[in-house]
Amino acid sequence: MATAEEQATTFKNEGNKAFASHDWLAAIDLYTKAIELNPNEPAYYSNRAQAYFRRAVAYTAILKSRDALKDFKTVVKKAPNDKDAKLKLAECEKIVRRVEFFRAIEVEDAPSAAEGLDLDSMVVDDDYDGVRLGTEMTTEFITDMLERFKNGKKIHKKYVYQIVIAVTKIVHEEATMVEMEIPDDAKLTVCGDTHGQFFDLMELFRLSGLPSEKHYYLFNGDFVDRGSWSTEIALLLYAYKWLRPSSFYINRGNHETDDMNRVYGFEGECKAKYNERVFKLFSESFSALPLATLVGNKYLVLHGGLFSDDKITLDDIRKLNRHNQRQPGQSGLMMEMLWTDPQPEPGRGPSKRGVGMQFGPDVTKRFCENNGLEAIIRSHEVRMEGYEEEHDGRCITVFSAPKYCDSTENKGAYIDIGPDYKLKFHKFDAVPHPNIKPMASWALSML
């Protein structure tokens, strides 16, 4: 019969396995059992504290702020000399105050931020030195806007209002899953997360070419937050969407949501560069964005990944009324489309993020076969080479923010798809940008 110390070691080893698979709750439980059997082993306490810490970080990322706060307090209590835990606790307390403040002032069924906005009577001063925008988007305006953004300038707030309102109307009328074909004389470029890294997006356009009648684009969510130029990217993508509504596509990502924007920088950036109304207009537009794009009946492009139920089909996505649910919440089809991730092991497992789940190669294989797809294309995660083909090539991740947040030495990537529907992967490096740090810490300090 095993001794108490041997049984404790077994629980510790099982806890390590749970920790490695991001099952923080199981890891905490197993380390606690090890401590109960052998309270004199310091490693068990430190392992449990790390499990609490990792779970707290996961809760923070998905804005379960109260749960995160509880775990950080536990870590600080059990490891009072852990400076990182103390710092995270202080940040988490700010998040809790901020989230609860906005929940307290939110009004259900509030009128649109566009209500009462009289664009016709809004005057652009004579000293505005940029190209003027009329009732339709033009290539000339976009070219001028690009140069202004490169030089640290803004466009007039009237034009911001016009762009966001026009695009909200366009995308609201699109299907939850847009279905498109690539013409014989055209190509489609699929881009992943850009996260406010405007100058890296300019490098992507330099390498791949600007959107045109024959060069379609699809941006697969998470174009705002974290980086310092989220408004510039959002306005640029929206301007192209207004100019080319039938050949420029935008999917919603998990960062095109209110709670994420309030914590990870976009709301604060909108208010600093323009005003609160601009953020509210963008928020309404994000809720109207499609959740997926079906390319040639071969590739399903969506931000996160697949589903907790094998019975989900493309028809279920088609039928999903995204307008009835402005924010994705913590469960359901919309949440899974925005939040899930692939894993190498078969089956499904707990999410390392703490929301959604992870899906294995067998899940991807069944989904593709049941729906007649060659592969799914998703984003949502950093890949060191900018992209990765997983699950026997049926799950493809593309990430377009090189040197993510100025701290990860990853490349960016994009995918070209021609009329033959063959995938061509392109990698690119980050380029220099003005010395402005990512905005997450600024957003946390706003309250």
Active-site annotation, residues: 255
Contacts of 424 (CB under 8 A, 6+ apart): 415, 416, 417, 418
CA distance 241 to 87: 41
Q: How far is CA 106 from the centre of its chain?
A: 23
Residue 398 and residue 379 in contact, taking contact as beta carbons nearer than 8 Å: yes
Tokens of residue 150, six digits: 């490169």
CA distance 353 to 254: 12
Residue 394 and residue 375 in contact, taking contact as beta carbons nearer than 8 Å: yes
What value, to the nearest 5°, has the Cα angle with vertex 206 and ends 202 and 207? 120
Please choose, from the candidates 414, 403, 108, 13, the residue with its C-alpha nearest in 3D space to the C-alpha of residue 227: 403
| Ramachandran bin of 109, using left for φ above 0, alpha for ψ from -120 to 50, beta for the remaining angles | left
Tokens of residue 87, six digits: 């710092």
